[in-house]
């Protein structure tokens, strides 16, 4: 393609353009971590919920699956979409502890498991109330995910991508 | 924080107009297997081929290496298609999930980078169309050409040669900038893929590419960069 008299080949120019964009528009630092977590979640015998909403100010250099840096303090919310329902999640993190409040819309009987994916693997469970509300007053911190199982169990469990508490 | 690059909403619909599928039929296969790259991207494609072979042979750690090597390239592909940051990230993840299902269909390991970028490009186009449909007035879809307003990119400190290249790119038309960004991301794409995303006939990609590159080359020369 390149004219031998050209000082620089088309491919060299395009590589330079690619290099410029890599500098101008770098991916989130934890892009690969998000991919690996998603691939892990895909291995589970469960259907993945889709993250549809999050506090916009949370996004930025951090990825949307790992919205918060570890040990950040504050309150933030996430919303996931599943087959026939939505889940809103609000996470409040203080210096020493964290809590998670959730709402399933429309309300339906479900068991919810909160699993910590960190070094201390742990799972706690609760039930969705008549109003669709559920809560984990004390949660683990670090990378976690929620699993929803319909009562009575009829479909595959539904699991969120990992998120930070 | 860094996401919302609030330049005035730009009309971007021309990017996503569907084209007559008959226009794609004379597919020009540019290069799925990269061979004419500089050392740096070339080395990335070779390393990814090696990691891909190791993973298919059962080495799980090689998958992580592959993901780390190529995810930044897939990010560029998705962003070049005009997706915002969260959609771009989702496309990168979806692309890797697709590889899990279709790894067997990749005959030549050197083609893995091309395969992933092609998948990412198609998925980006699909997502762009959906986003446009759902939020027709959304100005959140970022502009894949150079930002003119204050944005996160302006905080990046550029090396001299990048600065000069940026200056020269800025003198090209928006369409040229978009086309060159798309063509530059990852192993050189097939014209048919770019054609679909840009709403340009396949046959006009080659001449437009040549025109844009010539203009950029002239700008670089006049800037003393060449």
Higher pLDDT among residues B102 and A16, named by residue: A16
From residue B144, alpha-carbon distances to B4, B15, B80, B123, B174 in Å are: 14, 11, 5, 16, 9
In this prediction, residue B107 has a pLDDT band, given cuts at 50, 70 and 90, of confident
Can the peptide bond before residue A152 be classed as cis, meaning omega within 30 degrees of 0?
Answer: yes
Task: Name the percent of chain B lying above pLDDT 90.
Answer: 41
- pLDDT tens digits for range B12-69: 333 333 333 333 323 333 333 333 334 467 788 889 999 998 888 878 788 999 999 9
Q: Pick from A65, A69, A68, A70: which is nearest to A35 by CA? A: A65
Q: Which residues of B touch A18 (CB under 8 A)?
A: 41, 76, 184-186
Residue ranges in chain A whose pLDDT is less than 70: 1-7, 42-46, 56-72, 117-121, 153-154
Check whether B215 has a pLDDT greater than 80.
Answer: yes
Q: Which residues of B touch A3 (CB under 8 A)?
A: none
For residue B45, what pLDDT is reported?
Answer: 86
Residue A71 Cα, gap to closest chain B Cα (Å): 18
Whether residue B165 and residue A14 make contact (CB cut-off 8 A), yes or no, is no
Bridge partners of A90, per DSSP, are A77, A101
Q: How far apart (Å, rounded) are the C-alpha atoms in residues A50 and A122?
A: 23
Q: Which residues of B touch A59 (CB under 8 A)?
A: 1, 3, 85-86
For residue A57, what pLDDT is reported?
Answer: 52
Nearest 10 degrees: CA dihedral of B221, B177, B202, B115?
100
What b/e readout covers A93-125, taking b as 16+ CB neighbours within 10 angstroms? beeeebbbbbbbeeeeebbbbbbbbeeeeeeee
Whether residue A14 and residue B188 make contact (CB cut-off 8 A), yes or no, is yes
DSSP symbols for A54-81: E-GGG-SSS-STT-S-TT--EEEEEEEE
Q: How far apart (Å, rounded) are the C-alpha atoms in residues B191 and B204?
A: 9
Q: How far apart (Å, rounded) are the C-alpha atoms in residues A136 and B31?
A: 53
Which chain A residue shows the shortest CA-CA distance from B79? A25
Whether residue B92 and residue A24 make contact (CB cut-off 8 A), yes or no, is no
Residues 60-89 of chain B with CB under 8 A from chain A are 63-64, 67-68, 71-72, 75-76, 79-80, 85-86, 88-89
Gyration radius of chain A over CA positions: 21
Backbone φ and ψ of B94, nearest 5°: -60, -35
- pLDDT tens digits for range B129-165: 888 777 655 444 445 555 544 444 455 667 888 899 9
């Amino acid at each position: 393609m390149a004219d031998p008299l050209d000082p620089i080949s088309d491919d060299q120019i395009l590589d330079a353009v690619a290099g410029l964009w890599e500098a101008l528009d770098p991916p989130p630092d934890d892009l690969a971590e998000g991919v690996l977590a998603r691939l892990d979640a895909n291995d589970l015998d469960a259907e993945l919920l889709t993250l549809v909403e999050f506090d916009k100010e949370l996004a930025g250099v951090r990825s949307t699956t790992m919205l918060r840096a570890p040990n950040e303090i504050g309150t933030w919310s996430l919303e996931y979409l599943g087959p026939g329902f939505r889940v809103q999640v609000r996470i409040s993190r203080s210096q020493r502890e964290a809590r998670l409040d959730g709402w399933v819309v429309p309300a339906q009987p479900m068991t919810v498991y909160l699993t910590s994916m960190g070094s201390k693997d742990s799972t706690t469970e609760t039930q969705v109330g008549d109003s669709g509300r559920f809560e984990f007053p004390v949660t683990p911190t670090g990378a976690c995910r929620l699993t929803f199982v319909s009562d009575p169990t009829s479909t595959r469990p539904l699991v969120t991508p990992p998120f930070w508490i | 924080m860094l996401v919302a690059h609030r330049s005035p909403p730009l009309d971007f619909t021309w990017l996503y107009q569907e084209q007559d599928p008959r226009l794609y039929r004379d597919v020009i296969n540019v290069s799925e297997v990269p061979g004419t790259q500089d050392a740096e991207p070339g080395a990335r494609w070779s390393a990814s081929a090696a990691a891909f072979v190791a993973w298919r042979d059962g080495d799980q750690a090689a998958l992580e290496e592959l993901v780390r090597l190529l995810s930044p390239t897939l990010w560029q592909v998705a962003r070049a298609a005009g997706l915002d940051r969260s959609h771009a990230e989702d496309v990168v993840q979806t692309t890797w999930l697709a590889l899990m299902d279709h790894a067997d269909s990749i005959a030549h390991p050197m083609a893995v980078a091309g395969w992933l970028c092609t998948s990412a490009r198609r998925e980006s186009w699909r997502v762009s169309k959906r986003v446009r449909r759902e939020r027709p007035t959304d100005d959140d879809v970022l502009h894949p050409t150079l930002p003119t307003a204050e944005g996160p990119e302006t905080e990046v400190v550029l090396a001299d040669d990048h600065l000069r290249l940026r200056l020269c790119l800025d003198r090209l038309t928006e369409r040229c900038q978009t086309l060159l960004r798309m063509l530059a991301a990852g192993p050189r794409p097939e014209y048919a893929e770019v054609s679909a995303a840009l709403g340009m006939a396949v046959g006009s990609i080659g001449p437009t590419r040549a025109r844009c590159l010539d203009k950029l080359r002239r700008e670089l020369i006049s800037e003393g960069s060449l």
